[in-house]
Amino acid sequence: MKHLRLWVADRSILFVLLLLAIYFAIISSPALFSGNAFGGDVSHTFQTIDLSQLRPEYFLSGSIVVVLLLIGWSKSARLTSTPHWSGVWAPVIYALFTLVLLGVAIKINSTKGVDVVSVLKTVPWGSFILLVLLIGLFEECLFRGAVFHGFELNYGPLVAALVSSVLFGAMHFINWVTGEALGSTFDQIIQAGMSGLLYVGITLRMNSIWFGVVTHAIWDGVINISGKLDAAAIVLGSEETVTIEASSTGDAAAASAGIISLLVKYFQPLFGVFVLWSWWRQSKRPTATAQTFEK
């Protein structure tokens, strides 16, 4: 075990890149033997959460936690570190923003005639909540835990934040391999990469990975529920009618829709930069205090 930890410490970047390659192969390999690989599954979108993946997610999330423990990174990768509660506003604001988006989705689809309550009743909530939490745990431990810390050891936290976010986005190519259309996969890669800055910011500001796990799970859950509501609206055939009626409401409605679209697209990276700035500012205070004490 000691030799493993020394090897990882000396080759942290190589280790995390190998780790990414291994998980990419594990997740994508089942799809390679189906006819739906490489964009062949038209039903697969970024809003799709397949509950049949619950058991594999047990393995994925459990294995990455074990890896962090085995290589001695559990605390330095902020899995078992003590939270800095002064930054709790960051995950709270993000969670509230996400829930507001859900409220907007419910409001819009209810005006299209969707029976929101009936749609929500079709969700097996126990399995659904567990699955999004496991997904959040796996992705946060892998990217904001292992990958971030691997680059942090060599280049510092700011470079690590950028690189881990880019790799987080790139990892979503896996959705194309498992059936999603290439165009929508590219959109998700960009959005995921930008959102990575926010999850890094939350992890650093809180000095704990767990707040990113929870907010990540909330985001994935809301995106999936919104997708179910949108699908119900399409089934009702109200999409065209609502579009025509909305076009008659004038420039004000179009402007409002544009503002909402911009908020959805850019809130994560902009708020992420703000949270990172808050962490950087906060991190200077204890350093200065420690230097004064040493003198």
What would the mean pLDDT of 247-251 be, rounded to a whole number? 43
Contact 120/232 with Cβ under 8 angstroms?
A: no
pLDDT score of 276 = 97
Distances 190 to 21, 30, 69, 132 between C-alpha atoms, Å: 20, 25, 31, 21
Transcribe 10-27 into DSSP letters.
HTHHHHHHHHHHHHHHHH
Closest CA to 272 of 66, 80, 94: 94
Rounded to the nearest integer, the mean pLDDT of the chain is 85
- Token couple for 93: 């604001």
Residue 252 has pLDDT above 60, yes or no: no
- Token couple for 49: 């959460």
Using the structure block, give the residue that is written with the tokens 């767990």: 210
Rounded to whole angstroms, the Cα distance separating 38 from 180 reads 7
Q: How far apart are the first and last CA of the chain?
A: 39
What would the mean pLDDT of 186-200 be, rounded to a whole number? 92
Query: What is the DSSP code (8-state) at residue 85?
Result: G
Q: Is the model more confident about 232 or about 271?
A: 271
Rounded to whole angstroms, the Cα distance separating 8 from 15 reads 6
Q: What burial class does residue 103 get, using C-beta atoms within 10 Å of its C-beta: 0-12 exposed, 13-18 middle, 19+ buried?
A: exposed
Residue 258 has pLDDT above 90, yes or no: no
Residue 293 has pLDDT above 90, yes or no: no
pLDDT score of 294 = 44
In this structure, how many other beta carbons lie within 10 angstroms of the beta carbon of residue 235?
10
The answer to which of 49-58, 125-134, 193-202, 250-259 has the lowest mean pLDDT is: 250-259
Q: Taking the domains of the chain in order of start, what are their residue ranges?
A: 2-29+47-285
Q: What is the pLDDT of residues 17-74, one digit of tens each?
A: 999 999 999 998 877 776 666 655 555 555 556 778 899 999 999 999 999 999 999 9
Rounded to whole angstroms, the Cα distance separating 55 from 90 reads 31
Name the 3-class secondary structure at 172: coil
Q: Tell me the pLDDT band of 286, cut-offs 50, 70 and 90.
A: low
Contact 111/118 with Cβ under 8 angstroms?
A: no
